[in-house]
Each structure stands twice: as structure tokens, then as C-alpha cells.
Structure 1
Amino acid sequence: MFNKRMMVMMAALLVLLLGLAGCGQKAADKPAAKVLKVGAETTFPPFEFQDEQSKEYVGFDMDLARAVGKQMGYEVQIQSMGFDGLIPALEGGNIDLIVSGMSITPERAEKVSFSKPYYKSGLSIIVKADNQTIKGFKELEGKKIAVQIGTTGAEEAKKIKGATVREFNSNAESYMELKAGGVDAVVNDLPVNQYYMAKSGDKSAKLLSEISNAEDYGMAIAKKNGELTEKVNKALEELKKNGEYDKIYEKWFGKKPQA
């Protein structure tokens, strides 16, 4: 009886061990998820910003980056950092992709590879509502201008004759400086200024109608990573074909993109 009982117990133990081994084998066979590390300066609504309640990074760029990653079969991880630190982080291999309202410029193209353009923008001006002297970029000569550090808005503002340019880490700081009277104007990308005016309800400021330097946004990839550049371009093309790009655009800008 004792031997029979021992045999039954040993048989049960063997079945259990085989089952565990099978589970372990299945877990080992399952490939690890491919991760795409995306860098962004996350104080740039409506392109990228942190939701106050969920604390997630949201916006047009964030939705598009996740859609591109999904199309490519990657899990997207967003890494927030200063705008002027994005390209160094890409060059150093700390991130794989920059999706952060980055304009395609010859200077940047010397350091990184850009995807095909995914958004067309331009520079605009916000001034105090009672300001009757500044009507466009010409009148910014000799004035105090707030910009976000590292942006094309900052670069263009520095070209304005006699202007004093004050650089801030975020757009929010630029707008606060205007409200406080520390500067005469804020120069930033049109959709960013539009979003601020729409969401803040700030009656003390106004957006001027003149637009300067129409420019394209692109996703930036390390020059050595040509394969990823091809994958990103293909994913963007597929998202535009299947309508997903249009859905994301309309969600954040309230209208479909121009053809």
C-alpha cells in the first residue's frame, strides 16, 4: 500500500513539474515587446502636455506618436525633457525618436534625419489686448519679446532689429511674462498661440493675424538609424491612407487637415 501511494504521489509530482516546465517554455517563447522611446518637451499644447488629472502625456503629437508606434508594432514610451536637450538625447541614444513640434530646418537636418512632414505651421504674435502699436512682425523692432528656448520662434525673434529676446523653458512662462508686463509680445507657433487663446479665455491678450515663416514639423531620428526613418515614414503614410491621421488631427484642431 505504501509503495502504491508513493508511486501515485511521484506520478502527480512529475505531471506538475512537466506542466510548470511547459508554462516556463511558453513564457520564454513569447517575444519581448519592442519599445520605441519617444522624446518630447511636454509643455507645448496642443501638441504635447501633461493631463492634470491622469498625469499622462497627451496632445496631437503624443496621439500621433502612439499611432505610429502601434502601426510599426512597437510599445511607445514617452520621455519628457527640455526642448534644447532633445537632439543631444537622440544623438546619445537615450531616445529613438523626437516627436515634439520640431520644425524641419537645415541646421537641424545636419544633425538628425527627419521624417516626411506631418504638420504645417507658422509663427504668430500675441500682445496685450489694448496694444495698438504692434500690428505685425515689423513693429516688433526694438521691443521686448518672450519665446520658448530652442524653438524657431526664438531664432526668428533674435533676427528682429533692436529686439530684446527673453527665453523661457515653457510657453506658459512666456504668456505669464506678457500678462505681468515684462515683455511686449510673445512669438510662437500659430497652433500653440491659438490653443492658448481658446483654452485660457484670456481677455487681456489678443492674437495678431499676421503669420510668418510657414514651416513643416517632422519626427526626428538619429542619422545612423536609416531603418527606423523608413519605418516611421511608412507608418505615417499608412495612417494617412487609413484615416487615422485625420481622426487625430480633427480631435485636436477641430477640423480636418487641408489636402
Structure 2
Amino acid sequence: MKKIFKFLTLAFIALLTIACGNDSNKGSTVTNLKVGIAPNYKPFDYKIDSKLTGFDVDLVEEIAKKNNFKITWVEANFDGLIPALKAEKIDMIASGMSATDERRQNVDFTKPYFKSKNLYIKLKANDALNSKNDLEGKKIGVMLGTLQEDAAKKIKDAEIQSNKDLNIAILALKNNKIDAIVMDQDVAKGFLAENPELITFYQEDDDSEGFSFAFDKNKHKEILSQFNKSIDELKAGGFYKKLLEKYGLE
């Protein structure tokens, strides 16, 4: 009886050791990251059948796979992402966010992973708009919290209508409630394809370094470094090019 008890005790200890060892290994190798995203910015961040997808999503998931990060996506409005980061509700932002000096006062950016431009859109039938100067005193739709909102606000006497979703601006433009929309050129591609009555009439640099992933200021330096390294590796290895092709961003 004692031998049986001793054997069972040793077996139990061995199983407990294995279990604890597995938990210990998991804790030391897996980094959990809550990633903020505004999924209304196709082709970078959007949903298909309630499932998150897009260029940013695929890129982050691949980087996570390379570095043994566990990603939990946290959805928010774009203008609420940096406040959520500062409040520690999320660990990083992956949502087509452009790196600017103003934003850099509050966050640390990875190296840019995509460069875009501002595109100005109007109704095809509107012959009055042919240049940026023609927008003085006009009504302009933009997405709240974006560089395009900043650009529109610099236009003399323009009335800016900021929305949390560009679909609202598109509807307003088609119903002649605003005169034009300023948006990211690669986001605009989808809207122009779906709305043949809309055309572009002006393009400019967005005055940023490009889209980057963001972390809270002076935190997660090591993880940020891993993201930078992985961006370079994925570009060199061909994965990045395949993503560009997949989402029509070449």
C-alpha cells in the first residue's frame, strides 16, 4: 500500500512540475498585446462578415507570428485611439496612423510601413472645383482626427464637417450637402470605384513620414524594436510585396 501511495505521489509531483513548467514557458515567451484599431479605413482596416481584415491586420498578425506575440484587437473610433493608448486601455495602435511631430509628443512610432497622399474628391458634375484654391469658403468633409482634417482646416474660410466614418461624408457629397472630401488616396480608390459620379481633382503630400504603428511614449521600447526589425524582414522576404498586391496598394 505504501509503495502504491509513494508511486502515486511521485506521479502527481511529476505532472504538477510539467504543468507548471509549461505555464512558466508560456509566460516567458508569449507577449500579449492589446492593439487598437478603427475598422472603417479600407483597405487598411475594415471588416468582412464581422471579421477584421486589411493591410494593417495582416501585417501585424504576421509580425506577431514571427515574434510570438498574442494579439487582442480592440476596436475604437480613430480619434479615440491615442487617448486609449495613454489610458493604457491598449498597448499599441495599428490603424493607418501617420507619424507626425505633433503625435510624436505623445507616442513612439515604429518606422513607416506605408506612404500615401491626400486626395481631393468632388462630384463629376461640379465644374466649379478644379484646384485646391477653389475650395475657399466651401464645405469640406473629412474623417475626424486625420491629417486630411488638418489639411482641410488650413483652407481659407472653409467649413469643415468632420465625421467618424467616411461613408457619411460620401453620402453628404452625393446629396450636395458638402462640396468636396479630403481623404487618403489609397482609401479613396475604393470609394471612387463604387461611386462613378465622383472624381478626384487635386492631390498633395500629407506632410507625414507615412503610416506607422504607435506605442505609448517611452514604453515597450523592446517590442517597438522587434516591430521595426520585422518590417524590414517582411519587406526583404517578399511578404510585404504580396500584401501590397493583395490590397491593391502597389
The answer to whether the superposition gives a TM-score over 0.5 is yes
Confirm or deny: 8 A CA contact 2:186 2:249 kept in the other structure. Answer: no
Q: 1:229 aligns with which of 212, 224, 229?
A: 224
RMSD: 2.0
Q: 1:221 Cα shift?
A: 1.2
Once residues 157 and 254 of structure 1 are traced to their aligned partners in structure 2, the CA distance between those partners, rounded to angstroms, is 24
Distance in 1 of aligned mates of 2:156 and 2:195: 29
Contact 1:69 1:75 in 2 (8 A): yes
Number of the residue aligned with 1:205: 198
Counterpart position of 1:131: 126
For residues 16-66 of structure 1, give each alpha carbon's deviation from its aligned partner in whole angstroms, at most 9, with x where no partner exists.
665555444333222143212111111111110121x2x111101111111
Aligned ranges for residues 42-81 of structure 1 at < 5 Å? Answer: 42-51=39-48, 53=49, 55-81=50-76
Say whether the 8 Å CA contact 1:35–1:75 is kept in structure 2.
yes
Give the 3 Å change call, closer, same or farther, for CA 173–27 of structure 1 in structure 2. Answer: farther
Q: Distance in 1 between matches of 2:61 and 2:190?
A: 22
Say yes or no: does 1:252 pair with 2:250.
Answer: no
The whole-number CA distance in structure 2 between the counterparts of 1:133 and 1:15 is: 90
Amino-acid identity (%): 33
* Match of residue 37 from structure 1: 34
Deviation at 1:213, TM superposition (A): 2.0
Question: What is the one-letter code of the residue matched to 1:174?
Answer: A
Alignment correspondent of 1:219? 213
Contact 1:128 1:206 in 2 (8 A): yes
TM-score w.r.t. the length of structure 2 is 0.89
Task: Give the count of matched residue pairs.
Answer: 242
Distance in 2 between residues matched to 1:168 and 1:99, nearest whole Å: 20
Matched residue type, 2:196? K
- Displacement of 1:15 in angstroms is 5.8
Query: Which amino acid is the alignment partner of residue 19 of structure 2?
Result: A
Structure 2 vs 1, CA of residues 21 and 137 (structure 1 numbering), >3 Å: closer, same or farther?
A: farther
- Listed as ranges, the gaps of 5+ residues in structure 1 are 1-6
Structure index of larger Rg: 1
Displacement of 1:207:
2.5
- How far, CA to CA, are the matches of 2:65 and 2:114 in structure 1? 20
8 Å Cα contact 1:89-1:95 kept in structure 2:
yes
SS at match of 1:217: coil
- Equivalent residue, structure 1, for 2:159: 164
Q: Is the 8 A contact 1:221 1:228 kept in 2?
A: no
- The runs of at least 4 aligned residues of structure 1 exceeding 6 Å deviation read none
What is the match of residue 83 of structure 1?
78
* Structure 2 SS opposite 1:253: coil
Amino acid at match of 1:185: A
- Secondary structure at the aligned position of 1:211 is classed as strand
Structure 2, gaps ≥5 residues long: none
